Amino acid sequence: MPLTIYMPALSPTMEMGNIVKWHKNEGDSVSSGEVIAEIETDKALMEFEVADDGVLAKILIAEGTVDVKVNEPIAILIQDGESLDDISDINTSEVSNFEEDVASSNPLDPDIVKHTDNTDENVSSEEILVSSNTSTDKELDAENIRKFITPLARRIAFDKGIDYSSIHGSGPNGRIVKSDIQNYKFPENNQIIQNNMIDSNNQYIETPIDSMREVIAKRLQESHSSIPSYALNVDVSITEINKIRKKMNKDISNDMRISINHLLIKIVSLSMLKVPEINTSWAENKILRYKDTDIGIAVAIENGLITPIIKSVNTKGLAIIRDELKDLIKRSHEKKLKPSEYQGGTISISNLGAYGIKSFTSIINPPQSCILSIGASRKIPIIKDDAVSIDEVMSITLTADHRLIDGAVGAQFLSSIKNLIENPNLMLL
Amino acid sequence: MNFEYDVVVIGSGPGGYVAAIRAAQLGHKTAIIEKDNLGGICLNWGCIPTKALLKSSEVYSILKKSDYYGISAKEITFDFDKVINRSRDVAKSLSDGIGFLLKKNNIDHISGNAEILDVNLLKLTNKSKDKDISFKNLIIATGASAKELPNISFTSNIWSYREAMTPKDLPESLAVIGSGAIGIEFANFYNSLGVDVTVIELADKILPIEDNEISNYAKNEFEKQGIKFQIGSYVESVEEKKDGCHLKVVNNSDKSVSKLKSDKVIMAVGITGNINNIGLENVNIKTENGHILTDGNMQTNISNIYAIGDVAGAPWLAHKASHEGIIAVDFLSGLNVHPINNNNIPGCVYSSPQVASVGLTEEKAKEQFQSIRVGKFPLVANGKAKAISNDTGFVKVIYDKETGELLGAHMIGEGVTELIHGYTIAKNMEGTEEDIINTIFPHPTISESLHEAVLSAYDRPIHFK
C-alpha cells in the first residue's frame, strides 16, 4: 500500500507551511530519516525527514507552494514491489480532498503572475496597481491563478479591483462566473480603502504578506486585544555595571566580550527567581508557574522579528548565555530556528538602545507574562552629596500582564533589576 | 414508502425522453408516459420533418440554378407526395429510434394519458385499462399546442403546422399568419415549390425576436424570392368560401382594411402550454399565462414535481426542453445544477437563407448596457462563401464595451445554424472578445466570418473594411 506523506505539523502552532524545496525528485529512493523537503513554517525553515524507506512516487504539492495546510497530502511514497499504479488505491476521499486543496494552493511563479496580468491591458505587469487589493498578498495573486474563473469574470474582477481568491464560484466545478463577481461585496473596511484609493488616485506598491508577517500580525493583534497590560518605567544607572563589564572584557577578543544584554539576561533571570510571579503563564483557568527561567530576546531580522529563547538561564553562566545568544541570533537571521527555540518562555527583552530610543513599551508575546523594553544609555547630571556629577543611565520599561502580575509585584521585579544593575556584585549572592 | 417508479415523465418530446434517459443513467427506475408517437411535436410534427421538407425545397432550388454551376439538368420537377412521404419517413425512423433508446436504458414506455391524482400518484388511462402509478418524482413535459387567434380556428383550410406538413395537394396560394420561425419556414418551403405566399405579421418587422438588421435583411431576401409581406398588420377574420379563403387584413397603425384571397392559410401565431387534463389542479400546481411556473431547477411549487420544455414557458425550443430535462433530473438526484441563462440559448430559423442567433439584439443591448461595440462581417467577403456561391448574409456580434462580454451574435446566411454554437460556447464559458480573437478558425470555411465579425467589433477586421 503506498504511503501518503502529509504536511507535517512542525510546531504546535503550525497550521500551514510552505514547501520551499524538494530535495528528492519523483522516482528517487528515500530511506527513513532522510531529508526529503525543506518546509517553511510560520517562523522557521525546517528540514523534513521521511519516516519510511521507499521510493518517492509522486510529488503532489510543487516546490514553491505556500500555505499548504497541515495534514494535506504532499507526496506519495511507494515501497518495494509496488508500482505507481498502486497510487490509485489511495482512498478517494483523500484524493478528492487533496485535489481540491491543490487547486486552492499556490505555486509562486512570478512569470505566471506576470503573464496573467499581461493579458489584461488595464493592469500592468508590475506590482503597482491602481485598484485596491487590500486583504492579502502573494498568496492572493498566486491563488487567483489557480482559481477557476471565466475570462469575463476575471476581467471584471481586475477592473473593479476585486480579490476573488475567497469567492466561491457558482459555475460548473465551482468556477467563478460573472454573476459571482457582480454579487461580490467589498468588506466594509476595504470599501473605505477602496474609496480612498479612488479619491486620491494615489498609486501604491502592493507587498505580499509572508507567513512571518501573518504570524506577527495575528499574535500581536491577539495579545494587544486580549491581555490587560500596564507599563512601569524606571531609570537605572549603568555606571557600575559598565565598570564590571570593562574589567570582564579586558584583553578578550571582540566576539568573546560580555555585553550589557548578556548581563541583563542574567539579571532578569535572577530577578525572576526572586519574584516568582513573573515566571508564569496565563492558561485561561489556571496559572502556570515555572521553575526554570526561559528568557526571550527580540531579534530584528529581514522583514520581521523573532524572539529566540534562552532556556533555563538560571542554570547558565554568562559565557554560555553569550554563546547561545550569538548562535540563536545567527540562526534567526538564517531563518533556521527550530520552533522549540522560539516558542514558550515567560518574558522577553527588547533592546532598542542602539537606535537611540530613550524609552518605550512593548506588546507582550503570549504565552509570556511580560516584556522588558530597554532604552538607550545616556549621561545625566545627578546631585550626590550636594555636588553635581555625571551618571550614565538607561530606561527600562516593564509591560506586564495584569492578570498574572499586579502592579506592586511588577514594581518589585523592576526594582530588583534596577538594584542588580546598579549593584552588580549582588549578582554573586 | 415505496413507489413504483423513482421518476415518471409525462410526454416523450425532446424534453421528456432526454429527462427519462438521464434519470435512467443516474440509476432511477424510470417510466415515460406518451399518448401519441414517441418524440413529441419536435420529432413528429416540428423540428425534424420540417427540416426534411426544407431539404427537398432546397435541392429543388439548387437544381433549378444548376446551370450556374456548369451542370445541366432538364425538366426539373418534384413529386409533392414523395416530398411529404420522405419527411414522414424521417420522423418515423427517429421516433422508432427513441423507442430503441428507451429500451436500451430500461425505461418503461407506457402508452396513454396521465392525470396527476396526488403528489405521488397518477392515473393512467389507455385503450386497454386504467391504472394508478405511484412515483417519487414526476416530470411534466407535455409540451404545447398551436395557438388560435380569437376569431379564427383551425380547419381543413386554415392549417396548423400539422396540416401544413401533410397536405394532400400543393396549394396555389398561401397566406401565412405570423412570421416567427415556423411561419417563415413554411413560407419559404411553399414559396420554393412555386406557391404564391403572403406573410402577415403584426409586428413592424418579420422574425420579430431577431435583431432589426437581420429581420430587414431576411425580409429583403425573401421578397427577392417572391414572398410577399404585410407587416404591421393582423388578420381580423378568415372567410372560407368555395374559391378559397378570404382574409380581412387590418393595418395596425391606421386600421385600414385590405382583402387577401388564398387557397390555404397557415396560422403560426405562437403556442400555448399543454396544462389541461393532466390533473394540475388536483395538487394545485401553479400556472401562469398558459404555462407551469418553475424555479431555475425546474421545480414546481410541489417539491417532487417538475415541469420542463414548452409547458414550462418560453422560449419554445427543443434544445431548451432537453437541457431543462437534464437540470430537473440532476437536481432531483442531488447533483449540482446551473439554471439556464436565456441569453445563452441559441435560436435558429431553417429557411434559405438561414437565421441563427444567441443573446441580445443590438436594440436590447443598447437598452441594457451603457456602451456597446458592434462588429459585422458580410459573407460576400468570405472566401468559402464565394467559392460555393452562398455569399448572401452576414455575421454580427455585439459586445459590452466595458467588459468585453459577448452580449449577442446574429447571423443570416447558408449554414449559419451549424455555426451559432461557436458563439454559444464562448458566451456560455463567458469568454471575452480576446478568446475568440485568439482562436484559430479553419480556412476556407464560412466560420471564419465568426472570427472576422469579432475583429470588426474591435476595429481590426482583415478581410473587410
Average pLDDT over residues A347-366: 92
Q: Domain count of chain B?
A: 3
Look at A152 and B338 and tell me if their CB atoms are within 8 Å: no
Rounded to an integer, what distance in angstroms lies between the CA atom of residue B349 and that of residue A365? 74
Q: Nearest 10 degrees: CA dihedral of A307, A311, A316, A317?
A: 0
Q: Are A297 and A345 in contact (CB under 8 A)?
A: no
Q: Are A73 and A94 in contact (CB under 8 A)?
A: yes
Q: Are A146 and A103 in contact (CB under 8 A)?
A: yes
**Same domain? B141 vs B278:** yes
Best CA proximity match to B430, nearest among A151, A323, A136 = A151
Helix (H) or strand (E) holding A347: strand A347-351
Q: Are B353 and B419 in contact (CB under 8 A)?
A: no
Q: Residue A120's pLDDT band (boundaries 50, 70, 90)?
A: very low
**Same domain? B397 vs B417:** yes
Segment A214-267, tens digit of pLDDT? 888 888 888 888 899 999 999 999 999 999 888 888 888 888 889 889 999 999
**Same domain? B47 vs B185:** no
**Same domain? B139 vs B75:** yes
User: Which stretches does DSSP call E strand in B332-431?
Assistant: 347-349, 354-359, 372-378, 394-400, 406-413
Share of chain A above pLDDT 70, in %: 79
Least confident of A30-39, A174-183, B15-24, B121-130: A30-39
Rounded to an integer, what distance in angstroms lies between the CA atom of residue B147 and that of residue B164? 15
Angle between helices A110-118 and A138-146 (to 10 degrees): 70
Domain boundary among B247, B269, B291: B269
Q: Give rounded-to-5 percent helix, strand, coil for chain B.
A: 35, 30, 35
Q: Are B367 and B61 in contact (CB under 8 A)?
A: no
Q: Are strands B30-34 and B108-111 parallel, antiparallel or unpaired?
A: parallel
Best CA proximity match to A25, nearest among A87, A72, A75, A71 = A75
Per residue of chain B (465 residues), give pLDDT as tens.
789 999 999 999 999 999 999 999 999 999 999 999 999 999 999 999 999 999 999 999 999 999 999 999 999 999 999 999 999 999 999 999 999 999 999 999 999 999 999 999 999 999 888 999 999 999 999 999 999 999 999 999 999 999 999 999 999 999 999 999 999 999 999 999 999 999 999 999 999 999 999 999 999 999 999 999 999 999 999 999 999 999 999 999 999 999 999 999 999 999 999 999 999 999 999 999 999 999 999 999 999 999 999 999 999 999 999 999 999 999 999 998 999 999 999 999 999 999 999 999 999 999 999 999 999 999 999 999 999 999 999 999 999 999 999 999 999 999 999 999 999 999 999 999 999 999 999 999 999 999 999 999 999 999 987
Which structural domain, as residue segments, surrounds residue B389? 343-457
**Same domain? B399 vs B315:** no
Q: How far is CA B113 from the centre of its chain?
A: 25
Domain boundary among B269, B297, B315: B269
**Same domain? B263 vs B357:** no
**Same domain? B120 vs B90:** yes
Average pLDDT over residues A308-330: 93
Rounded to an integer, what distance in angstroms lies between the CA atom of residue A336 and that of residue B214? 71
Q: Where are the alpha helices (DSSP H) in A78-174?
A: 92-104, 110-118, 138-146, 151-160
CATH code at position B178: 3.50.50.60
| pTM of the predicted structure, to 2 decimals | 0.61
Cell digits of residue B413? 446566411
| Residue A33 confidence (pLDDT) above 90 | no
The answer as to whether B462 is a domain residue is no
B402: which chain A residues are within 8 Å (Cβ-Cβ)? Answer: 159
Class of the CATH domain delimited by A110-209: few secondary structures
| Residue A136 confidence (pLDDT) above 80 | no
Q: Are A5 and A52 in contact (CB under 8 A)?
A: no
Average pLDDT over residues A79-84: 68
The answer as to whether B463 is a domain residue is no
| Shortest Cα–Cα distance, B18 to chain A (Å) | 21
Look at A155 and B429 and tell me if their CB atoms are within 8 Å: no
**Chain B residue with the nearest C-alpha to that of A173:** B336
| Residue A410 confidence (pLDDT) above 60 | yes
Q: Nearest 10 degrees: CA dihedral of A29, A31, A34, A36?
A: 40
Q: Are A19 and A67 in contact (CB under 8 A)?
A: no
Q: Where are the domains of chain A?
A: 3-107, 110-209, 213-428
Share of chain A above pLDDT 90, in %: 35
> Considering CB atoms only, which of B338, B403, B429 is closest to A155?
B403
Q: Are A306 and A299 in contact (CB under 8 A)?
A: yes
CATH code at position B403: 3.30.390.30
A182: which chain B residues are within 8 Å (Cβ-Cβ)? Answer: none
A150: which chain B residues are within 8 Å (Cβ-Cβ)? Answer: 429-431
Q: Are A209 and A133 in contact (CB under 8 A)?
A: no
**Same domain? B57 vs B98:** yes
Give the CATH fold of the A3-107 domain. Answer: OB fold (Dihydrolipoamide Acetyltransferase, E2P) (2.40.50)
**Same domain? B390 vs B292:** no
**Chain A residue with the nearest C-alpha to that of B427:** A152
**Chain A residue with the nearest C-alpha to that of B438:** A119
Higher-pLDDT residue of A170 and B181 is B181
Q: Are B215 and B208 in contact (CB under 8 A)?
A: yes
Look at A159 and B403 and tell me if their CB atoms are within 8 Å: yes
| Residue A119 confidence (pLDDT) above 60 | no
**Same domain? B56 vs B166:** no
Give the CATH fold of the A213-428 domain. Answer: Chloramphenicol Acetyltransferase (3.30.559)
Look at B432 and A152 and tell me if their CB atoms are within 8 Å: yes
Higher-pLDDT residue of A144 and A21 is A21
Look at A156 and B403 and tell me if their CB atoms are within 8 Å: yes
The answer as to whether B132 is a domain residue is yes
Q: How far is CA A100 from CA A165, A376, B263, in A?
A: 14, 53, 67
By annotation, the residues of B acting in catalysis are 443
Segment B241-289, tens digit of pLDDT? 999 999 999 999 999 999 999 999 999 999 999 999 999 999 999 999 9
- Please classify residue B209 by burial: count the beta carbons closer than 10 Å to its beta carbon, then call 0-12 exposed, 13-18 middle and 19+ buried: middle
A180: which chain B residues are within 8 Å (Cβ-Cβ)? Answer: none
| Shortest Cα–Cα distance, B321 to chain A (Å) | 20
Residue-level length of chain A: 429
Angle between helices B212-225 and B181-192 (to 10 degrees): 20
A156: which chain B residues are within 8 Å (Cβ-Cβ)? Answer: 403
Determine the pLDDT at residue A303. 78
**Same domain? B360 vs B391:** yes
Classify B329 in phi/psi space as left (phi over 0), alpha (psi -120 to 50) or beta. Answer: alpha
Cell digits of residue B196? 404564391
Residue-level length of chain B: 465
Q: Which residues contact A226 (CB under 8 A, 6 or more apart)?
A: none
Task: Please provide the distance, in angstroms rounded to a whole number, between the alpha carbons at the two ends of chain A.
Answer: 64
Determine the pLDDT at residue A203. 67
Q: Are A45 and A337 in contact (CB under 8 A)?
A: no
Best CA proximity match to B201, nearest among B217, B221, B190, B187 = B187
- Please classify residue B80 by burial: count the beta carbons closer than 10 Å to its beta carbon, then call 0-12 exposed, 13-18 middle and 19+ buried: middle
Cell digits of residue A199? 479619491
Best CA proximity match to B20, nearest among B119, B103, B117, B128 = B103
Cell digits of residue A387? 555636588
Task: Please provide the distance, in angstroms rounded to a whole number, between the alpha carbons at the two ends of chain B.
Answer: 69
- Give a three-class secondary structure readout of A322-359: HHHHHHHHHHHHCCCCCHHHHCCCCEEEEECHHHCCCC
Name which of B327, B370, B430 to mutate to probe chain A: the one with the most chain A Cβ atoms within 10 A of its Cβ.
B430
Domain boundary among B233, B251, B269: B269
Average pLDDT over residues A316-332: 92
**Same domain? B350 vs B379:** yes
**Chain B residue with the nearest C-alpha to that of A153:** B430
The answer as to whether B296 is a domain residue is yes
- Rounded to the nearest integer, the mean pLDDT of chain A is 80
Rounded to an integer, what distance in angstroms lies between the CA atom of residue B59 and that of residue B255? 41
Look at B432 and A170 and tell me if their CB atoms are within 8 Å: no
